Amino acid sequence: MEGAQGVEVSWGENRGTDDADMPSSKDDKLAYRRLRLLGQGSFGKAFLARDLANNELCVMKQIRVEKMDAKARDTAVREAVALRRIRHPNVVRFRQVFVRSGWLCLVMDFADGGDLCAAVKERARSKVPFEESAVLECFGQVADAVNWVHSVKMVHRDIKSRNIFLCRTGRALLGDFGLVRLLESTCELAHTRVGTPYYLSPEIIRKQPYNYKTDIWSLGVLLYEMAALQRPFAGTLETLPRAILKGAYTPLGSQYSQGLHDLAAGMLQVSPEHRLDLAVALQSEVLSGPLERAREALGLEEPQLPEAPKAKRADRLRSEVRSGAKDMKSEFIGYNTMCRRADPILPAGVTPAEAIAALAAEAEAKAAAEIYADRVAAGETIGDGAPENWSIKPERDPDSGDDGMSSVSDDSWGSVVDSGAGVLAAINQR
């Protein structure tokens, strides 16, 4: 029950509820004390709360789900539970997900430094831009978190400065992951859009299919906002989409390096195909150094990318059969089967007759080469040639006593001798 100071207790306790048919997490017996309201919108409310199990501060977001149909409600809860699998030092950690009294409750870590949007506005009021090192160290952490999210086949879709939370230590956290996707199932959000689409990519504005590149566009808007203290594209709900589709913006100030300029420009390409690859950008000189400095200062270990799922037994067998057929140079796949390999048996444009002739010529040449090798090994001369490694260059016979070339033998054996059958007969008669 809500008290005079707006404080409620026992949220998450295993109390009686009308939502027994709704899925929830298995460990929903913990209790939280809601301290104060942080914000609210058409989707629900966000409270600063205290975990009564360990006395730590946390954030509890409550989303009204009672108006959802059963399928949408189940999908929303399952996706919320899936957020707990995300493990990255720069992603807000989800502690618990449960449903109580018609509300989907997401409990997550609390960042004591506020959000990036508030920090940017404060700098804009004082007209003191962030130092480039601070911009890149903060942005590098966020970009690394987004890259990890992409590695698990997820798209954030709601990257903006309000969803980047800061800790007083200097750590940056990517938050509200998947929240937009969850809220799109509600009747309220289906008819109401909160705010203006400053961070929406051109492909989403055009209602075209999108992929991970949409997050890279939003990162480009975020980087520009951190450096310029204002967003690259502005306007009303009617004019802003046209500005985004045009892709023209005021260049960043000269106080920033060309590397930062190029990084923002590479992400703010209207065509998704031309945008930077995030993994490559993180390895570039402009981001790798600042990110490494931030990790070292904060004591953060480099996150390990999730391991690729193990191949199924059927996939392994297919791979083994394919490799075996390749090793045996067989045109068939497997043993005792009529399934041919995908590769063509004959090259393009070659008829069966031509292929047979080529194979016969190859076999004949191979047989001739083997015969030649055998005769060479026996020390025979072959035609006008000579055994392997023997010289056929004319040389003078040193034993002939003739300094001229008349004693030169064409086969380098010395003086010319009669080696025919008549010589053998004469020798036998002696």
* Contact present, 311 and 317 (Cβ < 8 Å): no
Written as six digits, the tokens of 387 are 């055994």
User: Which of 51, 115, 144, 158 is the catalytic position?
Assistant: 158
Q: What is the largest CA-CA distance in the chain?
A: 140
> Smallest Cα–Cα separation from 412: which of 388, 396, 423?
396
C-alpha to C-alpha distance for 97 and 88, rounded to whole angstroms: 18
Tell me, yes or no, if 74 is annotated catalytic. no
Half-sphere exposure of 141 (CA within 13 A, CB side): 30
SS3 per residue for 232-296 = CCCCCCCCHHHHHHHCCCCCCCCCCCHHHHHHHHHHCCCCHHHCCCHHHHHHCHHHHHHHHHHHH
Q: Which residues, at least 6 apart from 154, have a Cβ–Cβ distance to it below 8 Å?
A: 177, 178
Q: Is residue 161 exposed (0-12), middle (13-18) or buried (19+ Cβ within 10 Å)?
A: buried
* Contact present, 103 and 20 (Cβ < 8 Å): no
Number of helices followed by number of strands (H, E) in the chain: 14, 8
Active site residues: 158
